[in-house]
Amino acid sequence: MSDSRSGARILVDQLLLQGVDRLFCVPGESYLGVLDALIATPSLRLIVNRHESGSAFMAGAYARLTGQPGVAFVTRGPGACNAAIGIHHAYQDSLPLVLLVGQSPTSVLEREAFQEIDCRRLFGSISKWVAQIDRADRIPEFLARAFQSATSGRQGPVVLALPEDVLEQSARTADARCHQSVQAAPSDTQIAALRRMLGKAQRPIVLVGGPGWSAAASENLRGFAEANHLPVACAFRYQDVYDNRHPNYVGDVGLGVNPQLAERIRGADLVLAFGARLGEATTSGYTLLRAPVPDQALVHAHPGLEELGRVYQAELMINTGMPQLAARLAMITPIENPIWADAVVQARAQYRAWQLRPEILSRHPPELDPWQLLQELRATLPDQAIVCNGAGNFSIWLHRFFGYFAPGTQLAPTSGCMGYAVPAAIAAKISAPEKAVVCISGDGDFLMTAQELATACQYNAAVLFLVFNNGMYGTVRAHQELRFPGRVSGTSLRNPDFSQLARAYGCAGFSVRRTADFAEVLAQALASLRSRRLPALIELACDPQLLSPSLHLQDVRGDTPTPAPKFPSAG
Ligand SMILES: Cc1ncc(C[n+]2csc(CCOP(=O)(O)OP(=O)(O)O)c2C)c(N)n1
Ligand SMILES: [Mg+2]
């Protein structure tokens, strides 16, 4: 038993024991003791945000990038509510995150005291576990369980409320141990069954996704796909699991999926879904696979037991972590001369064709060509550059035309939340300062969390921000034009001058209107990042008529009624 310590000190000691090296926060008077204890704990780096959504998003991005649990600290009611979007995101993205909430003192709880919030009810449906710690001597136990739960099985957020007086109490209590992330592994029987199903298949396809793909796991997956000539597709916003340049890679299955790829999945006789949740965005609204019993034979491997059979009754369900699965896949005796070997070549050719400049740009040439711009960006950035985006139709261009070459290079919200990209990019740069980090946002998306530019400058996070400015909530406008043509309501935006806004924060600010100017401005922005060690922002003046790679306003409003295209939302 150690000496008597304050609850705040016990808490900080547990964070260190759980391997935490940074804390994203907005301070509150509810946890002053913790802030004070951190002064004597330089190994725990405090990153102070300007809005609690920033803290939660950053903790989530840190988790997705490093595989380690991210930790955010916020104050009671107002702080907890601001952080909620990041908790919802971490839940849908299956990210290990521990949110600590400074709570009102126990002496006044349940009176609706000043800023009191019931964390159990607020976070109950969007986290793996929510608890309040009522005794300082139990802090080690609660912290250990929080980290254990957040990091095991299907990973996710955990919320702990810490009443002010509990942090001030003194207690003699023993420390906990570091958590162990527990993941299941496939059994021999399951691997044998998978091999048998593959042996009987004629049109198999692999669909990979979810977090937890280490570089080694991705490499093992590559070996399995190559040896068996299997086409590999990536689930919505998990495009970095498999090198997009590899001949077996056939595209991503998300909002705006290549129709030929969608057809290939519909027509497959075996879908090997590894790590993907098979959510709404990945299944084109539960149409690529029918629920509950798909037409295709389905092997569903997922770290979360509760995820298996939740929507789809797969023929073979495997509860496993991805590294554990991939290690076994790499050892499977390959199918000799599979009859589907030509299919991978054809699917790859269809993917390459899907990446070509879309004909809409020839019919309606914009002053600033988003396709050309993304080619330029990909050619300029290193393979390992981390690219972050939030929600909006601009992201359809990115997902379709920009290639991801290595695990851990895509940070994008499967929860479809706007405002994610700015904090995610800053967290990425702080966590991996040696890597190039680019943040790609829409004008609406960017302004949801633009205040974190101050955080970026404060911590010298030299991120390149690209803002696709079309003066509107374009995704919603696109739906509006299709459902209620010409009746614009609630989707137009009067924006600030983004380059000046960036400069006001201390970033370098640029603006590009014409395709021909982009390369030069990009070079200037990158040079500025290197020399100033501060962020740079390029505002891209986008054609407001170009609503997506398959939708131009003139086509919708033209005299001849166009057949209502099935418009993908990038929410
Ligand atoms: C937090 C949040 N609020 C609202 C939405 C609904 N929504 C999805 S995309 C979008 C518009 C995005 O606008 P912008 O970032 O400018 O991108 P654009 O579609 O114009 O390319 C909205 C409002 C959302 N996904 N997330
Ligand atoms: Mg916009």
Q: What is the DSSP string of 321-361?
A: -HHHHHHHHTTSPPPSS-TTHHHHHHHHHHHHHHTSPPTHH
As a whole-number percent, the residues of the chain with pLDDT over 70 amount to 97
| Contact 413 CB / ligand 1 (< 6 Å) | no
| Contact 301 CB / ligand 1 (< 6 Å) | no
Residue with tokens 């496939």: 186
**pLDDT exceeds 70 at position 562:** no
Q: Write the CB contacts of 242 (distance below 8 Å, at least 6 apart in sequence).
A: 208, 218, 221, 222, 225, 232, 234, 248, 249
- Beta carbons of 305 and 153 less than 8 angstroms apart: yes
Closest alpha carbon to 129 in 149, 106, 110:
149
Residue with tokens 């260190």: 16
**pLDDT exceeds 60 at position 137:** yes
| Contact 443 CB / ligand 1 (< 6 Å) | yes
> Stretch 328-339: mean pLDDT, rounded?
97
Determine the distance separating the centroid of ligand 1 and the alpha carbon of 219, expressed in angstroms: 35
- Beta carbons of 61 and 411 less than 8 angstroms apart: yes
Residue 465 structure tokens: 């921000």
Determine the distance separating the centroid of ligand 1 and the alpha carbon of 334, expressed in angstroms: 45
Dihedral-angle region of residue 504 (phi above 0 means left; psi in -120 to 50 means alpha; beta otherwise): alpha
- Residue whose CB lies within 8 A of the most ligand 1 atoms, among 87, 388, 475, for a mutation test: 475
Q: CA-CA distance, 403 to 420, in Å (whole number)?
A: 20
The pLDDT of residue 206 is: 98
Radius of gyration of the chain (CA): 24
Residues 400-425, buried b or exposed e (16+ Cβ, 10 A)?
Answer: bbbebbbbbbbbbbbbbbbbbbbbbb
DSSP state of 472: B
**Residue 2's pLDDT band (cuts 50, 70, 90):** confident
DSSP state of 492: B
| Contact 568 CB / ligand 1 (< 6 Å) | no
| Contact 465 CB / ligand 1 (< 6 Å) | no
Q: Express each pLDDT in 181-217 by its tens digit.
A: 999 999 999 999 999 999 999 999 999 999 899 999 9
What is the 3-class SS of 226-279, one letter each residue?
HHCCCCEEEECCCHHHCCCCCCCEEEEECCCCCHHHHHHHHHCCEEEEECCCCC
**pLDDT exceeds 90 at position 349:** yes
Do β-strands 437-442 and 386-389 pair in parallel, antiparallel, or remain unpaired?
Answer: parallel
**pLDDT exceeds 60 at position 337:** yes
CA dihedral 295, 298, 302, 304 (to 10 degrees): 50
**pLDDT exceeds 80 at position 557:** no
Burial class (CB in 10 A: 0-12, 13-18, 19+), 262: middle
- Beta carbons of 272 and 209 less than 8 angstroms apart: no
Q: Express each pLDDT in 267-301 by its tens digit.
A: 999 999 999 999 999 999 999 999 999 999 999 99
Determine the distance separating the centroid of ligand 1 and the alpha carbon of 444, expressed in angstroms: 6
- Beta carbons of 421 and 446 less than 8 angstroms apart: yes
What atom in ligand 1 is closest to the CA of residue 469? 16
Closest alpha carbon to 447 in 417, 467, 429:
467
Ligand nearest to the CA of 549: 1
As a whole-number percent, the residues of the chain with pLDDT over 90 amount to 96
> Stretch 231-250: mean pLDDT, rounded?
98
Residue 394 structure tokens: 């601009």
Q: What is the mean pLDDT of the chain?
A: 96
Q: Which amino acid is at 52?
A: E
The pLDDT of residue 559 is: 45
Q: CA-CA distance, 275 to 498, in Å (whole number)?
A: 39
Residue 242 structure tokens: 């498999």
Ligand nearest to the CA of 471: 2
The pLDDT of residue 261 is: 98
| Contact 227 CB / ligand 1 (< 6 Å) | no
**pLDDT exceeds 90 at position 15:** yes
Phi, psi of 472 (to 5 degrees): -165, 160
**Residue 527's pLDDT band (cuts 50, 70, 90):** very high
Residues 487-501, buried b or exposed e (16+ Cβ, 10 A)?
Answer: eeeebeeebeebbeb
Determine the distance separating the centroid of ligand 2 and the alpha carbon of 101, expressed in angstroms: 34
**pLDDT exceeds 80 at position 1:** no
User: In DSSP terms, which residues pair with 387 in a beta bridge?
Assistant: 410, 438
Determine the distance separating the centroid of ligand 1 and the alpha carbon of 474, expressed in angstroms: 7
* pTM to 2 decimal places: 0.96
The pLDDT of residue 556 is: 83
What atom in ligand 1 is closest to the CA of residue 417? 26
User: In DSSP terms, which residues pair with 442 in a beta bridge?
Assistant: 468
| Contact 444 CB / ligand 1 (< 6 Å) | yes
Q: CA-CA distance, 421 to 389, in Å (whole number)?
A: 4
Measure CA 25 to chain center.
Answer: 20
- Beta carbons of 238 and 264 less than 8 angstroms apart: no
The pLDDT of residue 565 is: 37
Q: CA-CA distance, 11 to 64, in Å (whole number)?
A: 24
